[in-house]
């Protein structure tokens, strides 16, 4: 196994390492693990250096406009046709794909779950994925799925690519190594990574935990990109320089391996005699990346009122309808609250969008009790939600001095489509049956006088 790196922080075996990355969002990168492996001045020489094969990986139609055209040229030990063969169907019964509308006993409502239970058996990353909701239709490449994961074993000789969509991975407990065709990424809680549609990868554990846990947004639609800043201007929110793409790294391994594929909601597997992570050099703009959520520069109200949550959008996948996302990835990071004469938490609202939320660490200011790290909530389209009774009391009675919300990181997968609950989510033992009661203490304060009843 060769790779272009400096000191490295080891996976579950320990040790220290620091991987190299290339900065920038959507850049055209070039990287090689061996000197001279990357052709210069052309993409497909008659004979590549080191006896490599040239292969293009396309993330868009060939004729897509230049600004949205995505492809990378890979120079690999074997072409990808040697990483396939006679597939056989397999099943991951807890990983579901839209459209997925099933009968279950749970009625419509605002929902919240505590974290997934720690598994008693050995599960790798793929086996540990549990679909909570699906939305849209994978066959027409619209919508998304919200997954949670929990696992305790490495993918050693197992490899995977998803033909249905890109995977936005959000660790909550335990750092992970995501080894892709185009290089390695170490991703810790408070960081995210994205594996593009069709890109081969495997996941291993870093450090020592009882289990590794987090969330995944599977985006069937147009790829995630940075939102337009509009009047905000050229800076703040997620800055392009803070996105990191891995340098080339490869495995030259001749052992029995398994390649697994997700295609139109079904799973297939083929056995091969070598590692498919054999890209020695590559160039292009279709590549995985990671991002540290702590580098997000929030913008908010500095005089009065609470801004729309869209001001915290890190990534957006457009739907084709301007201003309406197929899916947004939104975070609620540490920030100062300074607004005067203002109810500072998120206001009560109903929304045409559907919101799946998770908590990475700390407390969420609108729900300080019950919503815990590793937990999840679902507020589907047009279902009312907002701060619980405790949050309302604190916000309406507290002194309006500058306050810093610190040690907190929540996020939201928000989509224009209704999110259909899976049977697993409806029957999950950590479903909080009393979630709806968090608003029961919101009293009637109207008494016909301008002052109202605040007793």
Q: Which of 126, 122, 194 is nearest to 160 (CA)?
A: 126
**Which residues span the domain enclosing 387?**
296-439
Residue 2 has pLDDT above 60, yes or no: no
> Is residue 31 within 8 Å of 22, Cβ to Cβ?
yes
Q: What is the pLDDT of residues 399-449, one digit of tens each?
A: 999 999 999 999 999 999 999 999 999 999 999 999 999 999 999 999 999
- Cα angle: 176, vertex 180, 184; to 5 degrees: 55
Please tell me whether residues 240 and 321 are part of one structural domain: no
Per the annotation, does 361 bind a ligand?
A: no
> Is residue 172 within 8 Å of 214, Cβ to Cβ?
yes
Q: What is the pLDDT of residues 176-209, one digit of tens each?
A: 999 999 999 999 999 999 999 999 999 999 999 9
Q: What is the pLDDT of residues 241-296, one digit of tens each?
A: 999 999 999 999 999 999 999 999 999 999 999 999 999 999 999 999 999 999 99
- Residue 323: its pLDDT value, please? 87
Would you say residue 74 lies in a domain?
no
Would you say residue 209 lies in a domain?
yes
- Residue 16: its pLDDT value, please? 46
Please tell me whether residues 178 and 212 are part of one structural domain: yes
**Assigned token pair, 232:** 């905000």
Please tell me whether residues 371 and 245 are part of one structural domain: no
Contacts of 204 (CB under 8 A, 6+ apart): 11, 12, 154, 155, 156, 176, 177, 179
- Residue 306: its pLDDT value, please? 87
**Assigned token pair, 353:** 């969008």
Mean pLDDT of 230-249: 96
- Residue 17: its pLDDT value, please? 65
DSSP state of 291: E
Q: What CATH number should be reported for the domain holding residue 328?
A: 2.60.120.10
Please tell me the distance from the alpha carbon of residue 426 to that of residue 130, in angstroms, as a whole number: 12
Per the annotation, does 385 bind a ligand?
A: yes
| DSSP secondary structure letters along 92-114 | -TT---SS-----SPPSS-EEEP
What percentage of residues in the chain have a pLDDT greater than 70? 96
Would you say residue 359 lies in a domain?
yes
Please tell me the distance from the alpha carbon of residue 96 to that of residue 163, in angstroms, as a whole number: 14
Reply yes or no on whether 341 is catalytic: no
- Residue 326: its pLDDT value, please? 96
Write down the catalytic residue from 83, 274, 283, 306: 306
Bridge pairing between strands 257-263 and 403-405: unpaired
Mean pLDDT of 122-147: 98
Mean pLDDT of 359-383: 91
Q: Could you tell me if residue 331 is left (phi over 0), alpha (psi between -120 and 50 degrees) or otherwise beta?
A: beta
Please tell me the distance from the alpha carbon of residue 412 to that of residue 310, in angstroms, as a whole number: 10
Residue 72 has pLDDT above 90, yes or no: yes
Please tell me whether residues 310 and 289 are part of one structural domain: no
What percentage of residues in the chain have a pLDDT greater than 90? 90
Q: What is the pLDDT of residues 25-40, one digit of tens each?
A: 999 999 999 999 999 9
Would you say residue 421 lies in a domain?
yes
Would you say residue 248 lies in a domain?
yes
Q: Could you tell me if residue 163 is left (phi over 0), alpha (psi between -120 and 50 degrees) or otherwise beta?
A: alpha
Please tell me the distance from the alpha carbon of residue 139 to that of residue 121, in angstroms, as a whole number: 34
Would you say residue 95 lies in a domain?
yes
Instruction: Tell me the whole-structure pTM to 2 decimals.
Output: 0.94
Please tell me whether residues 187 and 206 are part of one structural domain: yes
Q: Which of 303, 354, 453, 441 is nearest to 135 (CA)?
A: 354
Would you say residue 347 lies in a domain?
yes
Q: What is the pLDDT of residues 302-343, one digit of tens each?
A: 999 988 889 999 999 999 888 899 999 999 999 999 999 999
Per the annotation, does 364 bind a ligand?
A: yes
DSSP state of 431: B
Please tell me whether residues 311 and 250 are part of one structural domain: no
- Helix (H) or strand (E) holding 397, with range, is helix 389-397
Residue 12 has pLDDT above 50, yes or no: no
Would you say residue 32 lies in a domain?
no
- Residue 5: its pLDDT value, please? 32
**Assigned token pair, 291:** 């991002």
Per the annotation, does 6 bind a ligand?
A: no
Please tell me whether residues 250 and 385 are part of one structural domain: no
Residue 294 main-chain phi, psi, to 5 deg = -70, -15
Contacts 24+ apart (CB under 8 A), 307-312: 309/346, 309/412, 309/414, 310/227, 311/237
Please tell me whether residues 231 and 353 are part of one structural domain: no
Domain boundary among 227, 261, 293: 293
Mean pLDDT of 131-149: 97
Please tell me whether residues 251 and 109 are part of one structural domain: yes
Please tell me whether residues 201 and 105 are part of one structural domain: yes
> Is residue 139 within 8 Å of 202, Cβ to Cβ?
no
Query: 322 exposed, middle or buried (CB, 10 Å; 0-12, 13-18, 19+)?
Result: exposed
Q: What is the mean pLDDT of the chain?
A: 93
Please tell me whether residues 127 and 240 are part of one structural domain: yes
- Residue 367: its pLDDT value, please? 79
Query: 48 exposed, middle or buried (CB, 10 Å; 0-12, 13-18, 19+)?
Result: middle
Q: How confident is the model at residue 455 (pLDDT cuts 50, 70, 90)?
A: confident
Q: How confident is the model at residue 9 (pLDDT cuts 50, 70, 90)?
A: very low
Mean pLDDT of 209-228: 96
- Cross-strand pairs, 4: none
- Residue 132: its pLDDT value, please? 98
Please tell me whether residues 326 and 391 are part of one structural domain: yes
Instruction: Domain count for the chain, please give it.
Output: 2
């Amino acid at each position: 196994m060769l790779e272009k790196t400096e000191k490295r922080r080891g996976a579950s075996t320990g040790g220290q390492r620091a991987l190299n990355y290339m900065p920038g969002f959507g850049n055209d990168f070039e990287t090689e693990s061996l000197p001279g492996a990357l052709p210069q001045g052309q993409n497909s020489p008659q004979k590549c250096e080191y006896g490599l094969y040239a292969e293009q990986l396309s993330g868009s139609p060939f004729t897509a406009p230049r600004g949205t055209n995505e492809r990378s040229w890979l120079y690999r030990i074997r072409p990808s046709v040697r990483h396939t063969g006679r597939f056989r169907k397999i099943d991951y019964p807890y990983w579901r794909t839209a459209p997925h509308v099933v009968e279950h006993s749970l009625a419509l409502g605002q929902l919240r779950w505590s974290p997934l239970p720690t598994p008693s058996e050995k599960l790798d990353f793929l086996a540990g994925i549990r679909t909570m909701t699906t939305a849209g239709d994978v066959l027409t490449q619209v919508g998304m799925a919200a997954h949670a994961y929990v696992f305790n074993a490495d993918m050693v000789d197992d490899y995977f690519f998803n033909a249905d969509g890109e995977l936005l991975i959000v660790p909550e407990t335990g750092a992970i190594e995501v080894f892709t065709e185009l290089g390695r990424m170490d991703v810790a809680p408070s960081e995210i990574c994205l594996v593009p549609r069709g890109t081969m990868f495997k996941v291993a554990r870093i450090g020592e935990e009882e289990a590794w846990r987090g969330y995944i947004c599977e985006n069937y639609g147009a790829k995630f990109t940075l939102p337009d800043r509009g009047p905000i201007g050229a800076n703040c929110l997620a800055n392009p320089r803070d996105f990191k793409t891995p340098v080339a790294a490869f495995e030259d391994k001749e052992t029995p391996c398994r390649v697994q594929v997700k295609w139109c909601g079904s799973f297939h597997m083929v056995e091969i005699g070598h590692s498919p992570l054999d890209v020695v050099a590559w160039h292009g703009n279709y590549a995985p990346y990671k991002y540290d959520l702590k580098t997000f520069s929030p913008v908010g109200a500095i005089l009065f009122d609470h801004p729309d949550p869209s001001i915290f959008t890190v990534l957006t996948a457009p739907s084709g309808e301007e201003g309406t996302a197929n899916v947004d990835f939104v975070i609620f990071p540490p920030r100062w609250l300074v607004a005067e004469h203002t109810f500072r938490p998120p206001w009560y609202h109903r929304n045409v969008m559907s919101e799946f939320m998770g908590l990475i660490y700390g407390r969420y200011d609108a729900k300080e009790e019950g919503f815990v790290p590793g937990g999840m909530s679902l507020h589907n389209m047009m279902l009312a939600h907002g701060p619980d009774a405790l949050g309302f009391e604190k916000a309406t009675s507290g002194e309006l001095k500058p306050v810093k919300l610190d040690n907190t990181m929540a996020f939201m997968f928000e989509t224009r489509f209704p999110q259909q609950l899976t049977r697993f989510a409806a029957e999950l033992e950590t479903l909080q049956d009393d979630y709806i009661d968090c608003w029961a203490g919101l009293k009637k304060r109207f008494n016909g006088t301008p002052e109202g009843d605040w007793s």
